[in-house]
Structure formats: structure tokens, C-alpha cells
A and B are shown apart, each in its own frame.
Chain A
Amino acid sequence: MKNNDELNQKIQKALNNSTQDLPEHITDGLLQARKKALAAQTTKQASPSSYRAWNKELMAIAACISLIVPVWFLSAPESKSPIEVQSMDLMVSFAELDDEEWELVDDLEFALWLSEQNQLEAET
């Protein structure tokens, strides 16, 4: 047991000594390897976050479109002014009139004109 421990110590010492005086080109190579690993780590950490940010922007745009489109469709009929709606209703009602009703409309217009004239005379 003691022999094994002594042997282990000798082996460890030999191995440790072998790493002490590595040539300069090896230590340079190890330094470069370390730098590359750290650069790869930084790149890897940066890429998912930018992807996530890009995803967020896409989600925001999609949400805006999904809100704007239905609102635009719903608000489109309301864009007509009340006057336009009234005149449209009037046109429809006039189109449905027969000859007798047209005579009545003419009479109403005449009656309306008469009343206007009477009002003007009264004012003067």
C-alpha cells in the first residue's frame, strides 16, 4: 500500500514536471486555443439573444397587423357621413314610388313652396 502511494507520488511528480517547461510554441498554441474557445462562447451567447430580439419584433408586428386589419374592416362602413346615408335612403325610397305617389310628392313640394311664400309675405 505504502509502495503504491510512493509510486503514485513519483508518477504525479513526473507528469507535473512534464507540464512545467513546455516549449513557447506550445504555450502560444494553448493560448490561442483558449482565446478561440472564449470567442466561440461569446458568439454563441450573443446569437440566441439577437434571435430572441428579432423574434420579439416579429411578434409585435404580427400583433399590430392582427389588431389593425379587423379594426379597419369594422370601421370601413362607418366612414360614410350621415348626409350620404340619408341621401342614399332617399334615393332608394324615390326609386320605389309609383306615378300616384309622385303626384303626391309634387303636391307636397307645391304645398311646401306655398307655405314658404306665405312665411315670406308675413315677414315683409
Chain B
Amino acid sequence: MDALVITLETFLQSVEKQAFRMAMLAVHKEADALDIVQDSMIKLATAYSERGSSQWRPLFFTILNNCITDWHRKETRWRRWFVRDHLDDDQDESLLEQEDDFGPIEQLQNDQLSGQILAVIESLPIKQQQCFLLRCWEGFSVQETAEVMSINTGSVKTHYHRAMQKIQAVLKEGQQ
């Protein structure tokens, strides 16, 4: 049992910073990002710790992805109820459904490449962002990403392609 605990602890330690960064890019609030990471860890530890350690990684990122999606749903619901008056009709749409509302790059104050890349990723719609991070950063295959996000492989390819196009466009603008 001690060996199991140590292994799980090692695994959690190995993914916690990436998980926090992914959550932070998605929700933009430190406290909420920490809560999401903690919930994901607890869910993995209580529900799936008895499974083989090779399954932990996709399971953990599936849970993390679901927690982020839940957070956005709650946030959207809250906005609909309490901030309706301050939103335009166009803005009053679920953040989850938005596809092409690429944020203005002019807001970027950091000229460094890393800062630009992070800012672009941060501005991506949540599904594109999750898909892109899972594929590009976590190294999941198209099939694995589809399973983690509970979407089909075609959607994964589309989200990833659009995200890449936007990042490339921003980097080109930065170079000019």
C-alpha cells in the first residue's frame, strides 16, 4: 500500500504544474485553477487509484478537462443570471460554444515569444485550448485526445488545426 501511495504521489507531483497551468489558461483565476487541480487529484485518488498507473495520465487529464468544462458551465450560468444586463446579445453565449472569437493581439504587452504564445493560447476558445494543450503539450494522440475530451477524432483535428493557425498568424504578426 505504501508503494501505491508513493507511486500515486509521484504521479501527481509530475503532473500538478502542467495541470495548474492548463487550468490557469482556461479559467484565468489562481484560486479557481487550484481548486480544479485539487478536485481532479482527489477524484483520481478516490475513484481510480486502484487502476494501473499507466491509466492514470489519460484519466487524470480527462477529469481535469471535465472539471474545467464544469467550471465554464457554472460561470456561464452565473453570468446569465447575474450579469445579463451588462452583456450584449453576442456576448451572452456560452463560452463553451464560442469558436472564432480570437482575442485582439493588440492587448499583448509582452513582446517576448513565450509571452505571446501563452497569451494566444489563453485567448483560444476553451475546447480548442484543451485540445491543443493535450495534443501539443501532453503529447496525446488524436485518438487519446478524443477519448479524454469525449469528442470524435475529426473534431480533435479541427480544433487543433484552428488553434495552430491562430498561433502561427500571431507569431507572423509579431515577426513583422
Contacts and interface: CB of A to CB of B under 8 A. Distances in A.
Nearest to A9: B136
B13 A34 contact: yes
B34 A33 contact: yes
Contacts of B34: 26, 29-30, 33
Interface stretch (B4-12, B67-75, B93-101): B4-12
Interface in A1-49: 4, 7-8, 10-15, 17-19, 22, 26, 29-30, 32-34, 36-38, 40-42, 44-45
Contacts, number: 89
B164 interface: yes
Given A30-B34, A36-B38, A7 B12 contact: no
A30 B8 CA distance: 14
Determine chain B's interface SS by DSSP, over half rule: helix
Nearest to A46: B1
Interface in B1-49: 1, 5, 8-9, 12-13, 16-18, 20-21, 30, 34, 37-38, 41-42, 44-46, 49
Interface residues of B, number: 33
Interface of A: 4, 7-8, 10-15, 17-19, 22, 26, 29-30, 32-34, 36-38, 40-42, 44-45
